[in-house]
Structure 1
């Protein structure tokens, strides 16, 4: 019985590695606050001539987790965000997150900011929402920056 379980586990791991290598497992390409500061990702967005999308979350926030598990896994969301934005995920309780919270007056989680290259907010969203609603918000932002 142990050999069967071990064999099944190994096969599952092989399938997962294969799927990841083919690109079948996708996600939004978030830069995390452990990797770069807000100023660094803002400069990156400016260089790429893209809007910066900032997901300000908290590890204890239920709606934040729901967004990660549902809305952000929607293929339409992943495609739009990876194509149109530089994406930054910052824990509001971290040092960098507190600085972002002070600068952009964050007082609830999740808060989503769409920031232009000049550092000004183009659009702000607070709270969780299904993929359809977020797509409408993103389309609104993309029309504003054209």
Structure 2
């Protein structure tokens, strides 16, 4: 009985020590893309003010490639560093609210759709589908170079 108690305590301590750094990183947002939580009109104003383009991720809750972007690409530290420095980043559900309105406005044909827009709402670039971290960084760099 005492051995079972000891094993349980050790297992709990191990789980806490392994999971704590992961949760700390998620909590402080130290890695990956920081997505803006304001309205679309506020994002446009902020983009003008900071002289940045907007990166808009339009996804759907049921979309597999969207989940892969969210879980694999967007949390990447290099991706976050580049996109946070160069874009106002927004993620919206293309089937709800402002996301649905913008999906119609920018001619969404598939999920995920990755759109780059200037502060006046003008489309700069658009692509669809999953991109790994390297491909996504290259995409952002090309958009900035052609700005």
Is the CA contact (8 Å cut-off) linking 1:52 and 1:115 kept in structure 2?
yes
Q: Which runs of 5+ in 2 are unaligned?
A: 1-6
Q: How big is the shift at 1:104?
A: 1.2
CA distance in 2 between partners of 1:107 and 1:24 (Å) = 31
CA distance in 1 between partners of 2:108 and 2:115 (Å) = 10
Computing the radius of gyration from Cα coordinates, the structure with the larger value is 2
Is the CA contact (8 Å cut-off) linking 1:55 and 1:111 kept in structure 2?
yes
CA distance in 1 between partners of 2:138 and 2:14 (Å) = 42
**Partner of 1:86: helix, strand, or coil?**
strand
**Partner of 2:88: helix, strand, or coil?**
strand
CA distance in 2 between partners of 1:96 and 1:20 (Å) = 26
Write out the 4+ residue segments of structure 1 that deviate beyond 3 Å after TM superposition: 12-21
CA distance in 2 between partners of 1:26 and 1:57 (Å) = 21
Q: State the TM-score, normalizing by the size of structure 1.
A: 0.83
Q: State the TM-score, normalizing by the size of structure 2.
A: 0.83
CA distance in 2 between partners of 1:67 and 1:16 (Å) = 18
**Partner of 1:70: helix, strand, or coil?**
helix
CA distance in 2 between partners of 1:5 and 1:136 (Å) = 42
Q: Which runs of 5+ in 1 are unaligned?
A: none
CA distance in 2 between partners of 1:77 and 1:15 (Å) = 20
CA distance 1:5–1:65, change in 2 (3 Å): same
